[in-house]
Structure 1
Amino acid sequence: MSTAGVTARRVPDTAAPAARTGRRDRSFAAVFALDLWERFSFFGLATILVLYLVAPVGEGGAGLPAVDAAAVFGAYLSLGFLAGLPGGWLTDRLLGPRRAAIAGGALVAAGHLTLAVPATAATYLGLLCVAGGTGLVKPATAALAALTRRGRANTQATFSLFYLAIQVSALLAPLVVGTVAERVGWHAGFAVAGAGMVTGLVWFVVGTRGGGTERTAHRMSPAVRRGCVRWAVVLVVVVVTVALLAANRLVTAQQVLIPLGLSTLAAPAAFVAYLLRGERITGPDRRRTIGLVILLAASSCFWMIFAQDASVLGVFARNDVDREVGGWLVPAAWFQSLHPLFVLLLAPLSAWWWGRRSRSPRTLGFAVALALAGGSFVLVAAAGRGPVSPWWLVGAYLLQAGGEIVVGPVGLALAARLAPPGRRGQFLGLYGLFAAFGVVSGNQLYRLTGLLPLPLYFLLCGLAVVVVAVLLAAVSPRVDRLLRAGGTAA
């Protein structure tokens, strides 16, 4: 999207320093709450969506084949990732982070409440609203977190604390929403997820009232404004048309998913080329951007491993792990709760660490995180075929959690800190695009399990990521110099 004709100006905060400090403290709690409830609604929806789609119509479900249900879920995730880039642009150039967070949160809540309506068209419309709202609210909340007093003091420690919200939601949402969906009904489950989003949104609006974070106003030329309106109208018409066709079974979910997947894979490279072309980013900002892109590209390997927790590791848990404890068979799906549990336990340690070492080298930490992720698959490969001890899988999830507390919060913090003026939301959206690239790649690699023995597949994937980690460690001094270009500490 062109930014020609857009002038950004900072609106000064003239409040007294003590008052600003108090408001920023409240603002951090409000932003934290919004992120926690947004993730609650996301994980709650993710828990029951596919189950609802495949459930027979007589049981209140949509009655889709399993393949189509998985494709709908994949299309929803892809749209949510892709929406992060225009959402970041709107945050930077038009709305500002607070208004973008409110608009995105309201759209997410509206989407969940639309899903609560027992109608096929409402299902697809609701998913579109949730995906679009997520694309707005995620870059906006991350930008707001960096603008609070705590975020300004130490961005890495702040985003490590934010990871607490994600893991708490990942643990609680499936239990709450899943229980309501099972005992009351699918649409009641969607309504509960929406109620959580409304709770977070109200808390956020009240907690950030009166300012306390930097606001940015933008003046757009009439030509740019007309261009934005035209693109928005075209996009809405295309998306709604496709949704209606899918709702009436005139196109299959697989046909929708293929172009979305290809767009997700191409989007990071296309946006980086756009940023670095011409005079959009110059001087030290350009060198810092190149360093950040190297780290984010490498982090895609972590998300590639992470994306297979519910697929290849889930199959391994079901077929190859000795799950019997005292005559009782532990459900295979329970093992997936180990990852968020370990991240939840490690996140406070990570926040404390970055609080004491806010200027530590970043690239070497990313390399170690990638090595841990790759090592998790190598560990499972060493376990061989089952039945094997569950401790092999526990160790794998622990290694992945150790990698995520670096790649997740530190990657977000770097994107927020290194973004040139007026581009913080877009850089946070770029972080999401590289994560999406890894997720889509992991889902495609999973198809190889039909051709390769499972231990060999684990070994090849794990070693490939370890090799990337070694290469990143080898170039870490150069990348760190890029990140610190112009005397700005990364």
Structure 2
Amino acid sequence: MSSATRESSAESGPTRALPRWYLTLFSTDALERFGFFGMQAILVLYASAPRSEGGLGLPIGESAALFGAWIGLMFMLSHPGGWVGDRVLGQRPTLVLSSFLGMTAYLLLAVPAGWSTAVGLSILAISGGLFKPNHQGMINLMYPDARRRESGISLMYVGIQVSALLAPLVTGYLGERVNWGLGFSVAALSMFLCGLQIALSGRQFGGVGAGPSRPLDQQERTRALRIVLSLAGTITALLLGLWASGLLSLMVVIAIAGISAVIAPIFGYTLLYRNKELGGGDRRRLRAFLGVFLGATLFWMMNAHASSLLNLFARDHTDRVILGWEIPASWLQSATPMFILVLAPVIAMSMPRIGGKNNLAVKFSIGLVLMGGSFLLMSVATTLAADGTLVSPMWLLIVYLAHACGEVVVAAVTIAAAADVLPRQYTSRVLGLLWLFAGMGGGLGSGVVQLATVMPEPLYYLMLGSVATSVGLFFALRRRALTRALGPDGPDESGPGRVEEPPAPIASAP
């Protein structure tokens, strides 16, 4: 499809009639997210359920760490996933491959065995790493106009929340009340339909995304193959060595994934900071934005608790009986997307009025304080439940309301601010770093959550809530300093990297 054709399609974008290719991207994104949120709602419950009930029988600490390590690994693999679409296969073939890999992974999760869970989650991390950047890449390629592209992505974000709302209701009921494998199988079906739709809709996109935009030359292919084989060989040798020595266990694998998720953003940030094309002003802003990266790490690490410890709290410590029927614990996972759907328009209208000149620091502070406050509230809830008393689910609903408000604010303000840190040609790399640091949150969370098994839960939530609230208040106190540090180049700071480029692709929250 030519640029002119894409422009013609864009004329009937989401603000007018919806073109067929947009409906395809919208529905496939909703299907992929349905599988993701459905699995997210039941994974920790399944892992911690007794073997007699079809679960894996893992301790609570290991079950909670499992999700954190997996989400960190998936974020980390999004970088090479985007490279595969751009340089090796093309976006659409990569999306088809990702969909059927995801289907295979969910079917493996449906097998109640430790080995199938480990293999399934590994394949699912690869699938997620391939899907998200290339799906966003297709939107960017099909919408040459930035305003319509942003409108299209915003509409898709609504579709994602609808999937996040419905998926736990379906997979949660089937998994908790019928069979865990059936819950994962529904997620597999959604990925099969996703892959089938993309495979059959090629004519809607013309030639866009059908092949790599910048194919590897022979030297690059050889180098890439050497790197892939080296990494695969190193990982295989490490796992075989641990197995031969009797040290291989689920917690060791989780630790390896967590450490990798921590190392990757540090390496990526250092590499970008040392780029010779950046000027003094660029490096100043990048140093200042490191605080935002780390704040985002803390926020997403705590946000991931919704699918681990908070999910287990819903199962074990809340009174979920309504009119004589006990609702599945996983259904409470639908609260956050429901709140986002209701409150996002209100928050979007309010956002321009908040912060003034210190826009980023003030809004980021609000998001962190909301997250910290929700954990302080959980400290009270776990204290009330410590003697075995079942508490009202309203405690969790208020916590999820705070998460929803914080997520909308933090995701929007960090993505928007990332576009102004470095010259336009580096924006995708800054956004990629933002999600790598979010992945670091998952990696760190897989270790931090273990503290809940060795210390009283009220103290655990009090500690994390106090940290997040303190960091949020620190951003508020240092708002003017952060604004100055992120300001434009001074007369002596211009570097060779500051050149005008077309607007960079717009990314959305994962």
User: What TM-score bracket applies, with the shorter chain setting the length?
Assistant: 0.7 to 0.9
For residue 5 of structure 2, what is the aligned residue in structure 1? Answer: 15
Uncovered stretches (5+) of structure 2, i.e. residues with no partner: 490-497, 505-510
Q: Please, which of 446, 449, 455 is the counterpart of residue 449 of structure 2?
A: 446
Moved more, 137-146 or 223-232: 137-146
Report SS of the residue matched to 1:218.
coil
Task: Quote the Cα distance in structure 2 between the aligned partners of 1:332 and 1:186.
Answer: 14
User: 2:36: which partner in 1?
Assistant: 42
Q: 1: distance between equivalents of 2:473 and 2:58?
A: 44
Partner of 1:459: 462
Q: Is the 8 A contact 2:94 2:131 kept in 1?
A: yes
One of 203, 207, 210 as aligned partner of 2:206:
210
Say yes or no: does 1:229 pair with 2:225: yes
Three-state SS of the structure 1 residue aligned to 2:214 is strand
Which residue number in structure 1 is paired with residue 187 of structure 2?
193
Shift of 1:68: 6.4
Please say if residues 177 and 192 of structure 1, whose CA atoms lie closer than 8 Å, have aligned partners that are also in contact. yes
Q: CA deviation digits over 1:139-163, x for unaligned, max 9?
A: 2223444555497117776555443
Report how many residues are paired.
479
- Paired residues of 1:88 and 1:139 also in contact (CA < 8 A): yes
Shift of 1:351: 5.2
Cα pair distance change 1:198/1:319, threshold 3 Å: closer
Residues 219-246 of structure 1 show CA distances to partners (whole Å, capped at 9, x for unaligned) of 5453332110111223344556778999
Say if 2:64 and 2:449, in contact at 8 Å, map to a contact too: no
* Counterpart Cα distance in 2 of 1:155 and 1:370: 29
Distance of aligned partners of 1:41 and 1:425 in 2 relative to their CA distance in 1, 3 Å threshold: farther
Which residue in the other structure is 1:77 paired with? 71
Are 1:470 and 2:473 an aligned pair? Answer: yes
Instruction: Give RMSD over aligned pairs.
Output: 4.5
Shift of 1:172: 1.9
What's the CA shift string for 1:144-190, capped at 9, x where partnerless? Answer: 44555497117776555443333322222233334555787555544
Residues in 2 aligned to 1:465 and 1:440: alpha-carbon distance in whole angstroms = 17
Distance 1:372 1:72 in 2: 26
Q: Which moved more, 1:74-83 or 1:156-165?
A: 156-165
Indicate yes or no: 2:27 matched with 1:33: yes
The letter of the residue matching 2:252 is Q
Map of 1:3 onto structure 2 = none
* Contact in 2 for aligned 1:287/1:483 (Cα 8 Å): yes
* Counterpart AA for 2:475: L
1:385 equivalent in structure 2: 384
CA distance in 2, matches of 1:354, 1:149: 26
2:293 aligns with 296
The CA deviation at 1:97 is 4.4
Deviates more, 1:306-315 or 1:62-71: 62-71
Aligned match of 2:402: 399
Question: Which residue number in structure 1 is paired with residue 98 of structure 2?
Answer: 104
In structure 1, what residue type is equivalent to 2:253? V
Task: Single out whichever of 317-326 and 224-233 deviates more from structure 2.
Answer: 317-326
Secondary structure at the aligned position of 1:217 is classed as: coil
Secondary structure of 1:401's counterpart equals helix
Report the counterpart of residue 307 of structure 1 in structure 2.
Answer: 304
Is 1:171–2:161 an aligned residue pair? Answer: no
Structure 1 spans left out of the alignment, 5+ residues: 1-10
Q: Secondary structure at the match of 2:384?
A: coil
Classify 1:255/1:421 alpha carbon distance in 2 versus 1 (closer, same or farther; 3 Å).
same
Of 433-442 and 472-481, the range deviating more from structure 2: 472-481
Pairing 1:337–2:334 present: yes
- 1:273 deviates by 0.5
Partner of 2:494: none
1:251 is paired with a residue whose SS is coil
Provide the C-alpha distance between the structure 2 equivalents of 1:39 and 1:117, rounded to a whole number of angstroms.
Answer: 22
Aligned residue for 1:437? 440
Using the alignment, how far apart are the partners of 1:382 and 1:53 within structure 2? 27
Q: 1:185 to 1:332 in 2, by over 3 A?
A: closer
Instruction: Give the counterpart of 1:277 among 271, 274, 278.
Output: 274
* Correspondence 1:21-170 to 2 at 5 A: 21-22=11-12, 26=19, 27-49=21-43, 75-95=69-89, 97-113=91-107, 124-146=118-140, 149=143, 152-153=146-147, 159-170=153-164
1:181 and 1:187 in contact (8 A); partners too:
yes
Residue correspondence of structure 1 range 360-379 to structure 2 within 5 A: 361-379=359-377
Secondary structure of the residue that 1:308 maps to in structure 2? helix
Letter in 2 for 1:362: L
Aligned 8 A contact 2:45 2:311 in 1: no
Match for 1:464: what amino acid? V
Could you give the per-residue CA deviations for residues 390-442 of structure 1, whole angstroms, max 9, x where no partner exists?
A: 44433222111100112234444555786766666654442332122223334
Does the C-alpha gap of structure 1 residues 271 and 356 become closer, same or farther in structure 2, counting only changes over 3 Å? same
> TM-score, normalising length from structure 1?
0.78
Distance (whole Å) between structure 2 residues aligned to residue 225 and residue 119 of structure 1 = 37
- Residue pair 2:306, 2:333 contacting (<8 A) in 1 also: yes
- Describe the superposition over 1:17-50 as per-residue Cα deviations: whole angstroms up to 9, x where unpaired: 4345347853444333232211111223334445
SS in 2 for 1:259: helix
Residue 294 of structure 1 aligns with an amino acid whose one-letter code is: G
Distance 1:372 1:90 in 2: 37
SS of equivalent residue, structure 1 residue 299: helix
The 8 Å contact of residues 72 and 441 in structure 2, kept in 1 or not, is answered as: no
Asked if structure 2 preserves the Cα contact closer than 8 Å seen for 1:160 and 1:410, the reply is no
Match of 2:258 among 250, 258, 261: 261
> Contact 1:300–1:434 at 8 Å: present in 2 too?
yes
Q: What TM-score, normalized to structure 2?
A: 0.75
Deviation by residue 1:260-290 (Cα, 9 ceiling, x = unmatched): 1112122211210111114265566655544
Q: Which amino acid aligns with 1:84?
A: S
Q: CA deviation at 1:347?
A: 3.0
Moved more, 422-431 or 229-238: 422-431
| Alignment partners' CA distance in 1, 2:185 and 2:242 | 23
Q: 241-250 vs 151-160, which deviates more?
A: 241-250
Once residues 233 and 189 of structure 2 are traced to their aligned partners in structure 1, the CA distance between those partners, rounded to angstroms, is: 29
Q: Secondary structure at the match of 1:279?
A: coil
